[in-house]
A = this chain, B = another copy of it.
Amino acid sequence: MIYLDNAATSFPKPEAVYEAVIHNMKNFGANPGRSGHKMALEAGRTIFKGREMICKLFNIDDPMQVVFTSNATEALNLAIKGILDQGDHVITTSMEHNSVLRPIKRVENNGVENTIIQCDERGELDPKLIEQAIKSNTKLIVTTHASNVTGTIMPIEEIGKIAKEHGILFLVDAAQTAGIYDINVSSNNIDLLAMAGHKGLMGPQGTGVLYIREGIDVRHFKEGGTGSKSQELVQPLMMPDRYESGTPNTPGIAGLTAGIEFILEEGLDKIRKHEEELTSYFIEGLKEMKKVKIYGQQNAKKQASVVSINIEDEDSSEIGYILDKVFDIGVRPGLHCAPMAHRTIGTLDQGTVRFSFGYFNTKEDINQALEAIKNICEQI
């Protein structure tokens, strides 16, 4: 299969990722941060190395501010619900994933107000609208770094400046960009950074990360054994134990660490350029097909390697089905868990057929995808 569904999860992973998972399971498969015997200590070092790699990639000072979660969704829930209290106001955008919108809708019940900034039909956000929406009780701004529907990149640097000027916390959902784009929590004024471990970071599924800037009090939502202050029946507030109760996904984190090492070796620039080239080549090819409507900016410099299309009025699921069955190409049709983004670009009923490329895709993959789309267009 030609796998063009990297926005859902990256595939394949670097060989070193598979090896790290199995090496951990077979050789140091103990419980980290507990016990104290050699195997447990080695498992603990694996986890700590993972935190250090995250620090290196995002210019984070202190590895203890890196919290491992089971996915980006958990990281986003933790940040949003851990920050917002009754009477607070949160600003977000119409291009967000349900992992941002649904928690924000949930806390409405607790008396947390929200403003959802409308993006334009290409998914672009005007940062001035963010600034205009700020109220005296605005506590948090949440934006995705790149839309999972159109790939549209959000101006996080400008938003970070606005947030800082107004003393508002800034949470970035980097699910689509971590490991591909340069994100610097310090210069970008990011207070909270949520990401998936299994997309651009090339780790296994079951991993996610939340970076919390030092000094920010995020309420935890799970209590349990932390291997620290075990005599107390109250959850310890030390970092990162506060947020990591129970046995972590050690093999997953070992794999994620290997994924980040691979990224650091290759270099973010090289990875991003490759994905940009594929995206650009794909968009140019699509532009020649009259029956194809391309959404978003249609500019690889302004979007992550995610391209959403439709073929005339055909149901996106139908096209996805044909691409799979007839052409052995894996894409994702439908709403991509981001209904407001689809309303924004005008595809709430039809959905879109989403092509998303990864570092291991080749120009030949794109040629075959273009050929398949052309073929479908001719049949319709």
A36 contact from B233, B249, B333, Cβ within 8 A: B333
Q: In the complex the two chains form, what is the Cα distance from A77 to B5 in whole Å?
A: 33
A222 contact from B73, B101, B225, Cβ within 8 A: B73
Asked if A35 is at the interface (CB within 8 A of a chain B CB), the reply is: yes
Contacts A3-B30, A36-B324 given; indicate if A102 touches B70 (C-beta within 8 A).
no
Interface positions of A from 104 to 158, Cβ below 8 Å from B: 105-106
Contacts A1-B39, A31-B5 given; indicate if A337 touches B18 (C-beta within 8 A).
no
How many copies of this kind of chain does the complex include? 2
Q: Binary interface profile of A, 61-95, with partner B (CB < 8 Å = 1, else 0)?
A: 00000000011111011000000000000000000
Chain A contact patch, size range: 35 or more
A233 touches B98 (CB 8 A): yes
Q: Which residues in B have their C-beta under 8 angstroms from that of A18?
A: 22, 25-26
Asked if A160 is at the interface (CB within 8 A of a chain B CB), the reply is: no
B224 touches A76 (CB 8 A): yes
Asked if A374 is at the interface (CB within 8 A of a chain B CB), the reply is: no
Interface positions of A from 187 to 221, Cβ below 8 Å from B: 196, 198, 204-208, 221
Q: In the complex the two chains form, what is the Cα distance from A208 to B336 in whole Å?
A: 26
Which residue of the partner chain B has the closest CB to A29?
B11
B74 touches A337 (CB 8 A): no
Asked if A50 is at the interface (CB within 8 A of a chain B CB), the reply is: no
B324 touches A38 (CB 8 A): yes
Contacts A18-B22, A18-B25, A252-B206 given; indicate if A247 touches B98 (C-beta within 8 A).
no
Interface positions of A from 220 to 249, Cβ below 8 Å from B: 221-227, 230-235, 245-249
Q: In the complex the two chains form, what is the Cα distance from A335 to B227 in whole Å?
A: 9
Q: Which residues in B have their C-beta under 8 angstroms from that of A101?
A: 233
Q: Which residues in B have their C-beta under 8 angstroms from that of A330?
A: 30, 35, 37-40
Which residue of the partner chain B has the closest CB to A8?
B31
Asked if A334 is at the interface (CB within 8 A of a chain B CB), the reply is: yes
Q: In the complex the two chains form, what is the Cα distance from A30 to B162 in whole Å?
A: 38
Contacts A13-B29, A103-B223, A223-B77 given; indicate if A35 touches B331 (C-beta within 8 A).
yes
A206 touches B25 (CB 8 A): no
Contacts A74-B222, A221-B221, A224-B73 given; indicate if A13 touches B1 (C-beta within 8 A).
no
A208 → chain B closest CB, angstroms: 8
A225 touches B73 (CB 8 A): yes
Which residue of the partner chain B has the closest CB to A354?
B35
Q: Which residues in B have their C-beta under 8 angstroms from that of A3?
A: 30, 39
Q: Which residues in B have their C-beta under 8 angstroms from that of A8?
A: 30-31, 34-35, 40, 247
Which A residues lie at the B interface, using CB under 8 A? 1, 3, 5, 8-9, 11-13, 17-18, 21-22, 25-26, 29-31, 34-40, 70-74, 76-77, 97-99, 101-103, 105-106, 196, 198, 204-208, 221-227, 230-235, 245-252, 317, 320-321, 323-324, 328-340, 348
Q: Which 8 pairs show the lowest CB-CB distances between chains A and B?
A: A206-B249, A73-B246, A225-B337, A102-B223, A99-B224, A37-B330, A73-B224, A8-B31
